[in-house]
Homo-oligomer: A and B are copies of this chain.
C-alpha cells in the first residue's frame, strides 16, 4: 500500500495562468497589431474579462468539455483570448496552420471534428473555399467586430467575435477538473502520410511553462516584454501565450505583418526584450538594420529555432546589436521545448573562440525532459559531441502518442518517444542536431549526415537549393547522392561542386554523384520533399565510387 503525501490535490490548469496575471499583474499590457497595422492595447485585467465572456459564450453555444474549437488566426489579442476562453472551460483549442494545403486543412478539421472555427478576417476567402468540405464545423466566427462580416461573406452560420461574446459578463469562475484533461490540439505535418494531432493536457502545458521560464531555459520575468513572431498556430508559439501571463510579462502580438520594418518598429516602440522566431525573420531583419542603421536595443534575447541558426547571424546579433541568440530545438510533440542555449559557468569561462562553438549548437538539456541518443542497436552512444545517434525524449511535456491513436504505439517499452532526429550530445549537455533519421545515409554501418553535406553545398556560389539522399550501393548499402537546383542562369559542374565540398568533410562522406534539377519538390511548409527525390532517383546508377567507407 502506498503512503501518500498529505498535500493538496489542486490540479494544474491553464486558467491559473490568467487568474494569476489578472490578480498580480492586472495593469500589464497586451499590445496587438492587425493586418492593417492598427494597434490594440489593453491589460490583463481587461483581457481576463473578455476571456470569461468568451468562455460563457462558448458554453451558451453548447460547447462542452472535450469539444474541439478551431482557429485559423495569426498572433493577435483575440486569438490570445481563445487560448483561455476555450481551454479554460475544458474544451480543446485546435490551432490550425493556415499555410497548409487546403486538403490538409480539410483533413485536419474533419479528423479533429472541430465544431466552431474562429478565423481572422484575412482567412475569410480560405474558409469560404474550405467550407463545403468541412464536415463538422457548425459555425464560423470572424475575429473582429460586426464590420469584419461586411462585404461578400460567402459563409452561412457566421458570426463576428465581438457580437459572439457581447452578451456575457465577467461573472464567471473557471471550472476545476482533472489536470490530465486535453487542453489543446496541434497537428504536425510530416512529409509523408496524413498530419497527426498532438493532444496537450493542462498538466503538460503548465509543467512545460514552469520549465520554459527557468533561467536554464528562457529565463523570463515580469520585467520582460515578449513578442512571439513564431505563429500561435505552430506549437503555441513556443508556449508564449502561457508564459507571459504566468510571469506577468508584457505581451506584444505582431499580427501578420512580419516585414523587417514592422518588426524593428514594434521592438523599438514597445521595448521588446524577448522574441521567438525562425532564422529567416532575423535574416531579413538584420539586412534591414544593416541598411538603415536602425537598432533593436531593447532586445536582450532572440530565441531562434525551427532549424539551425547560421553562426554569422549569432555573432552579428550578439556583437553589433547586443542581443543574445538562444538556439532552441523543439517539436510539436514537445509542447514544444526540447533544448535551449544557456551558458553554464564552465562554458561561460571558456575563451571566446571555444565558447562560441557551444552557441552554434541547438541548446542544452533542461530539467524535466530526458534525452537519449542511441545507435542502431538501441545502445546509448557516448556524450562526446562527436558520436551521432537517434534522439529519443521522455518527460511530462512529451507526447505519448497522437490523437485518435494515429500512428499506433509510438513509445518504446521504457516510455521514450522517438524524435526522428539524429543528434550528438557533448559533455556540457549541448545538443547538435545533425540530420533527420530518415535522411541520414547509412554507409558501411556508419552514418553520414545529409544536412552537413547540404550546408557545405549551399556555400557554392551557383547553388540555390541542395539535398542529399541515399542511393542503394551493392557494397556499402547506401551512398550519398547530391541533388542540386542551380541559381537562375548558373551552370555549375559536378566537379566544381564536389571540389567545393571535399576539403571540409571526411573523404568517405563525399557524395558519389551530383545531379541537377530545375526545381526542387517542396512541402507546404517550405521544406524540400526528400521523399519525392528518393523516389525519383531510386534507380540512379552511381559511378564507380572512389570514396571508400571508413572500414575500407
Residues of A within 8 A of B (CB): 1-10, 12, 16-17, 19-20, 23-25, 27-28, 65-66, 92, 177-178, 180-183, 198-204, 207, 210-211, 213-216, 219-223, 246-248, 335, 342, 344-346, 348, 364-365, 367-368, 370, 394-403, 411, 415, 417, 429
Contact between chains at A5 and B203 (CB < 8 Å): yes
Are A7 and B400 in contact (CB-based, < 8 A)? yes
The residues of B that contact A204 with a CB separation of less than 8 Å are 5, 7-8
B contact residues around A177 at 8 Å (CB) = 2
Closest to A209 in B: B367
Residues of B within 8 A of A10 (CB): 394-396, 398, 415
**Closest B-chain residue to A220, C-beta based?**
B215
Residues of B within 8 A of A1 (CB): 66
Q: Which chain B positions have C-beta within 8 A of A201?
A: 4-5, 7
Q: Quick check: B216 and A214 within 8 Å, CB to CB?
A: no
Enumerate chain B residues within 8 angstroms of A211, measured Cβ to Cβ.
210
Q: Which residues of B contact A411 (CB under 8 A)?
A: 8
Q: How many angstroms from the CA of A449 to the CA of B396 in the assembled complex?
A: 46
Partner of A6, one of B65, B215, B403: B403
Question: Would you give the shortest CB distance from A17 to chain B, in whole angstroms?
Answer: 7
Give the Cβ gap from A418 to chain B, nearest Cβ, in Å.
13
| Interface secondary structure of A, over-half rule | loop
Chain B residue with Cβ nearest A181: B2
Closest CB-CB distance, A45 to chain B, in whole Å? 11
Cα–Cα distance between A281 and B203 once the two chains are bound (Å) = 40
Copies of this chain held together in the complex: 2
Residue of B nearest to A417 (CB): B8
B7, A399: Cβ atoms closer than 8 Å: yes
With a CB–CB cut-off of 8 A, which chain B residues contact A223? 344-345, 348
Q: Which partner residue on chain B sits nearest A199 by CB separation? A: B6
Q: Among B199, B219, B368, B370, point to the contact of A5 (Cβ < 8 A).
A: B199
Task: Say whether B8 contacts A394, CB under 8 Å.
Answer: yes
Q: Chain B residues near A221 (CB, 8 Å)?
A: 214-216, 219, 342
- Rounded to whole Å, the gap between the CB of A278 and the closest CB of chain B is 25
State whether A3 touches B92 (Cβ < 8 A): yes
Complex CA distance for A403 and B4, rounded to whole angstroms:
10
Q: Are A222 and B342 in contact (CB under 8 A)?
A: yes
Tell me, in angstroms, the Cα distance from A399 to B4 when the chains sit together. Answer: 12
**Across the interface, which residues of B come within 8 angstroms of A370, CB to CB?**
19
Q: Is the CB of A368 within 8 A of B417?
A: no
Which B residues lie within 8 Å of A7 (CB)? 180, 199-201, 203-204, 335, 396-400
User: Are A219 and B210 touching (Cβ within 8 A)?
Assistant: no
Q: Do residues A2 and B344 form an inter-chain contact, with CB atoms below 8 A?
A: no
With CB as the reference atom, state the residue of chain B lying closest to A64: B3
- Given contacts A215-B220, A247-B216, A367-B20, A395 and B2 within 8 Å (CB-CB): no
Q: In the complex, which residues of chain B have a beta carbon less than 8 angstroms from the beta carbon of A417?
A: 8
Contact across chains for B216 and A215 when beta carbons are under 8 A apart = no
Q: A9 CA to B395 CA in the complex, in Å?
A: 8
* Bound: A25/B364 CA distance, A: 11
* With A213-B215, A215-B213, A429-B23 as contacts: A8 and B398 at CB distance below 8 Å: yes
CB contacts (< 8 Å) of A207 on chain B: these are 12, 207, 210
- Separation of A220 and B247 alpha carbons in the complex (Å): 15
Residues of B within 8 A of A345 (CB): 28, 222-223
Top 10 closest A-B pairs, CB basis?
A: A5-B201, A3-B66, A215-B221, A7-B204, A24-B429, A6-B199, A210-B210, A5-B182, A8-B400, A3-B182
Q: How long is the Cα–Cα vector from A367 to B220 in the complex, in angstroms? A: 13
A414's nearest neighbour on chain B, judged by CB, is B176
In the assembled complex, the CB of A402 is this many whole angstroms from the nearest CB of chain B, namely 6
Chain B nearest Cβ from A291, distance in angstroms: 33
Contacts of A348 in B (CB 8 A): 223
Bound-complex Cα distance A7 to B417 (A): 11
Chain B residues with Cβ below 8 Å from A20 are 365, 367-368
Contact of A66 among B2, B28, B367, B398 (CB under 8 A): B2
A8 adjacent to B214 (CB under 8 Å): no
Closest-CB distance, A95 to chain B (whole angstroms): 15
Please give, as numbers and ranges, the residues of chain B lying within 8 Å of A399 by CB-CB distance: 6-8
> How far does the alpha carbon of A27 sit from the alpha carbon of B1 in the complex, in Å?
38
Q: Across the interface, do A4 and B180 meet the contact criterion of CB distance under 8 Å?
A: yes
Q: Which residues in B have their C-beta under 8 angstroms from that of A346?
A: 27
